[in-house]
Amino acid sequence: MNEMKVARGLGWFSIGLGLTEVVAGRQLGRVLGMEDKGWLFRALGVREVATGVAILAMDQPRAGVWARVAGDALDLAVLGSGFTEENPQQENLTVAFATVAGITAVDYWCARRLHSGRPHGSIATHRANVADGSAPHYREWTPAESAGPRKEAP
Least confident of 17-21, 70-74, 138-142: 138-142
Q: Is residue 43 part of a domain?
A: yes
Residue of 139, 141, 93, 129 whose CA lies nearest to 4: 129
pLDDT digits (tens, 9 = 90+) for 82-136: 999 999 999 999 999 999 999 999 999 999 998 876 655 555 665 665 555 555 5
Domain of 21, in residue numbers: 3-133
Asked if the model's pLDDT at residue 48 lies above 60, the reply is yes
pTM, entire model? 0.74
Number of helices (H), then strands (E), belonging to the chain: the values are 5, 0
> Per the structure, how many domains does the chain have?
1
Q: Is residue 145 part of a domain?
A: no
The crossing angle, in degrees rounded to 10, of helices 3-31 and 38-57 is: 170
Q: Is residue 146 part of a domain?
A: no
DSSP state of 36: G
Q: Is residue 152 part of a domain?
A: no
Q: Is residue 97 part of a domain?
A: yes
Q: Is residue 147 part of a domain?
A: no
Asked if the model's pLDDT at residue 151 lies above 60, the reply is no
Higher-confidence residue of 15 and 147: namely 15
Q: Is residue 26 part of a domain?
A: yes
For residues 89 and 98, what is the distance between their CA atoms, to the nearest angstrom? 14
DSSP run (H or E) holding 152 = none
Q: Is residue 95 part of a domain?
A: yes
pLDDT digits (tens, 9 = 90+) for 9-43: 999 999 999 999 999 999 999 999 999 999 999 99
Phi, psi of 2 (to 5 degrees): -90, 120
Q: Quote the pLDDT of residue 116.
A: 78
Q: Please, what is the end-to-end C-alpha distance for the chain in angstroms?
A: 46
Q: Note the residue count of the chain.
A: 154
Instruction: Answer whether 69's CB lies under 8 Å from 106's CB.
Output: no
Asked if the model's pLDDT at residue 143 lies above 80, the reply is no
Higher-confidence residue of 75 and 125: namely 75
